[in-house]
Amino acid sequence: MKIETHSIDGKWKRYTLINNNNMSIRFLDFGGIITEINVPDRNQQLENVVLGYRNYQHYENNTNFLGTIIGRVAGRIKDASFTLNNKTYMLEANNNTHHLHGGSKGFHQIIWKTKPFQTENTVGVTLTHRSHDGEGGYPGTVDVAVTYTLNNKNELIIDYFATSNKTTAFTLTNHSYFNLTGNLAQNIHNHVVTIDSDTFVELSEELIPTGKKLHVENTPFDFREGRKIADGINSTYSQNIMANNGYDHYFILNQRKQAVICIKDETSGRKLTVKTNQPGVVLYTANSSIDNLELEKGRSKQHLGVCLETQASPASLHHEGFPTIILKADATYKKQTVYTFGIEE
């Protein structure tokens, strides 16, 4: 196990976590951005399985949120506003008339304080930040800690911790785009995804939750027994078409199984399983906004990566019956998502 530290143009730090299996995770203190995850295929060939820019400076204008920590609120907030304790808070409208992923100066745009650590079986870094009252339009001074831990089970563990001195809206996620073919060898059409979810959230044409929850039965959103992402990309189902031929939807997790999400790639043999104590996940399949960017292994294109944004639901700010994102004053926000990389036998 070891940690390597490298300076990027004298302004950012890049950390590389390496375990005893030579699996490695590389990320920046800027935005907590995960730039590489190198894991073996069935032939023990190590390759990067997340999308990252070739030129690190492109992360400064990272409108696709590649690999970032997202906050204060992950997802879209309708009309860039919400009401809490009879007071309305106005946020930045950075996605048409709506608020997306904490705004243009959200957690993906800050330099986090970092503290590396190492034990016999783990290596990691804790990233911390204080977000002051009123920052981004949100109430409360929030102290945030996000810890990346790599162990010898080829697990990346992301722990999220926060407290606020005022009741506020808060839900974090990581926005890595996974492509298990390795080094972007192919698109994600044939990735087989399994999600333990009976219900997903209907979206409007502006990709804002309508307040209606739909059952997955007899739709391309039924991932309970596993299905290819291509099923949704090629579908004529209105919710797939609305998302520009793919998925950009929140699934409410059943939490009946230990591993609630799984992705498999037959060509490489790689498998990613995800465990989380978050109530749901946004499945996003890079439907449009990621065209023609200069990535580490070539130009980007539609459907080149898939995001698994484990989080609560911003729809809860405007609709009843959704997993809440309200963090009460002096309460503790404590969430964990574990990504396990393996080989399909």
**309 noted as active-site residue:** yes
Distance CA 34, CA 17 (A): 11
Q: Is residue 32 part of a domain?
A: yes
Q: Which residue has the tokens 């044939």?
A: 190
Q: Which amino acid is present at 319?
A: H
Residues facing residue 95 across a β-bridge: 98
* Count of C-beta atoms within a 10 Å radius of residue 14: 18
Instruction: Identify whether the C-beta of residue 205 lies closer than 8 Å to the C-beta of residue 320.
Output: no
Q: What are phi and psi of 60, to 5 degrees?
A: -65, -30
Domain count, the chain: 1
The percentage of the chain sitting over the pLDDT mark of 90, rounded to a whole number, equals 90
Q: Is residue 198 part of a domain?
A: no
pLDDT recorded at residue 290: 63
For residue 338, name the pLDDT band (cuts at 50, 70, 90): very high
pLDDT recorded at residue 300: 80
The pLDDT tens digits for 225-248 are 999 999 999 999 999 999 999 999
pLDDT recorded at residue 245: 94
Distance CA 209, CA 213 (A): 9
Mean pLDDT of the chain: 95
pLDDT recorded at residue 63: 87
Q: Is residue 254 part of a domain?
A: no
What are the respective helix, strand and coil percentages of the chain, to the nearest 5?
Answer: 10, 45, 45
Q: Which amino acid is present at 148?
A: Y
Q: Is residue 193 part of a domain?
A: no
Q: Is residue 81 part of a domain?
A: yes
User: Where does residue 210 fall: left (phi above 0), alpha (psi -120 to 50 degrees), or beta otherwise?
Assistant: alpha
Q: Is residue 292 part of a domain?
A: yes
- Cα Rg, the chain, nearest whole Å: 19
Q: Is residue 31 part of a domain?
A: yes
Q: What is the DSSP string of 188-216?
A: STT-EEEE--SEEEEE-TTS-EEEEEEE-
pLDDT recorded at residue 339: 98
Instruction: Identify whether the C-beta of residue 51 lies closer than 8 Å to the C-beta of residue 300.
Output: yes
**Which residues, including other chains, have CB under 8 Å from residue 150's CB and lie 6 or more apart?**
1, 17, 18, 19, 23, 24, 25, 122, 123, 124, 156, 157
For residue 291, name the pLDDT band (cuts at 50, 70, 90): low
The pLDDT tens digits for 301-314 are 889 999 999 999 99
Among candidate residues 98, 129, 175, 303, the one labeled active-site is: 175
**175 noted as active-site residue:** yes
Instruction: Identify whether the C-beta of residue 77 lies closer than 8 Å to the C-beta of residue 314.
Output: yes
- Of 82-91, 168-177, 291-300, 336-345, minimum mean pLDDT range: 291-300
Among candidate residues 36, 47, 135, 309, the one labeled active-site is: 309
Its pTM stands at 0.96
C-alpha 71 chain-centroid distance: 11
Q: Which residue has the tokens 């333990």?
A: 196
Q: Is residue 72 part of a domain?
A: yes
What's the domain range around 330?
2-183+271-343
Distance CA 135, CA 156 (A): 30
Tokens of 3: 């940690």
Distance CA 340, CA 157 (A): 8
The pLDDT tens digits for 161-216 are 999 999 999 999 999 999 999 999 899 999 999 999 999 999 999 999 999 999 99
Rounded to a whole number, what is the distance in angstroms from the first to the last CA of the chain? 26
* CATH code at position 314: 2.70.98.10
